[in-house]
A and B are shown apart, each in its own frame.
Chain A
Amino acid sequence: MAIMVNLDVVMAKKKIGAGQLAELIDITPANLSVLKNNKAKAIRFSTLEALCRELDCQPGDILEYVEDED
């Protein structure tokens, strides 16, 4: 995958649990898990905005572009 979601790293830095974050940004824990495990195909601006607001970070802290090996 070219875009990596480093949500678990940011969450660990801010010491916030998945259930609490899911509640704060108003998405289901299952959907947050999809996002955390890099299974998501897209992320809405509204979700990204909520994540940045609650985690007090920039989109670049959560998303990272990684060069494909092949």
Chain B
Amino acid sequence: MQWNSDRSLKLSIWCTRLAMAMVVICGLLSNRIVDWYIQVAQRPSALYQPLMITLLVCCIPAVGALFWLHRLLLNIGQGRVFIDENVTLLRRISWCCFLAAAITLISSRFYLVFLLISIAAAFMGLILRVVKNVIQQAVALQAENELTI
């Protein structure tokens, strides 16, 4: 099977849809997931509430980020790459990462592992902001190029 950018994009779109479904399922089954984790990782049951709240609250930026990522991938699929809408979508996704980082940073007071997730989410948000700035410059360059006769 020959691999090309079209197939890669389709795979990304389906992975995003799958991730979105998994986040929704995680949100719906959060109590069971947290119960299972506390048993398997042998953590104190007092952790149940902070873990549960963190998981549920983090589902909001996660769904938002995946929804906007899906729209971004659809735009790319339609050949609309360097457009203002994609800059806005990247900005929103990066803010979702920073929101998740803030939530997990607060939760790290109760469970230190969340600090690593917080750092990873903040780093991801930072990278996305850099990509957003690059796309923003590309949009301006494309507009100038299109108006060069």
A binding-site residues for B, Cβ under 8 Å: 27, 31-32, 34-35, 39-44, 47
Give, as a whole number of angstroms, the nearest-CB distance from A63 to chain B.
12
Which of B12-20, B25-33, B141-149 forms part of the interface with chain A?
B141-149
Cα(A35)–Cα(B146), bound, Å? 12
Complex interface: chain A residues within 8 A of B147 (CB): 34, 39-42
Which residue in chain B gives the minimum CB-CB distance to A27? Answer: B149
Which residue in chain B gives the minimum CB-CB distance to A35? Answer: B149
Can you list 16 residue pairs at the A/B interface with Cβ under 8 Å? A27-B149, A32-B149, A34-B147, A34-B149, A35-B149, A39-B147, A40-B147, A40-B148, A40-B149, A41-B144, A42-B144, A42-B147, A43-B148, A43-B149, A44-B149, A47-B149
Complex interface: chain B residues within 8 A of A42 (CB): 144, 147-149
Give, as a whole number of angstroms, the nearest-CB distance from B82 to chain A.
16
Complex interface: chain A residues within 8 A of B149 (CB): 27, 31-32, 34-35, 40, 42-44, 47
Complex interface: chain A residues within 8 A of B148 (CB): 40-44
Cα(A42)–Cα(B149), bound, Å? 6
Complex interface: chain A residues within 8 A of B143 (CB): 41
Give, as a whole number of angstroms, the nearest-CB distance from A43 to chain B.
6
Complex interface: chain B residues within 8 A of A32 (CB): 149
Give, as a whole number of angstroms, the nearest-CB distance from B142 to chain A.
11
Give, as a whole number of angstroms, the nearest-CB distance from A29 to chain B.
12
Cα(A43)–Cα(B148), bound, Å? 5
Q: A31-B149, A34-B147, A44-B149 are in contact. List 5 more A-B contacts (CB 8 A).
A: A39-B147, A40-B148, A41-B147, A42-B149, A44-B148
Give, as a whole number of angstroms, the nearest-CB distance from B6 to chain A.
28
The B120-149 residues at the A interface (CB cut-off 8 A) are 143-144, 147-149
Which residue in chain A gives the minimum CB-CB distance to B147? Answer: A41
Cα(A31)–Cα(B146), bound, Å? 9
Ranked 9 nearest A-B pairs via Cβ:
A41-B147, A42-B148, A35-B149, A40-B149, A31-B149, A41-B144, A40-B147, A47-B149, A43-B149
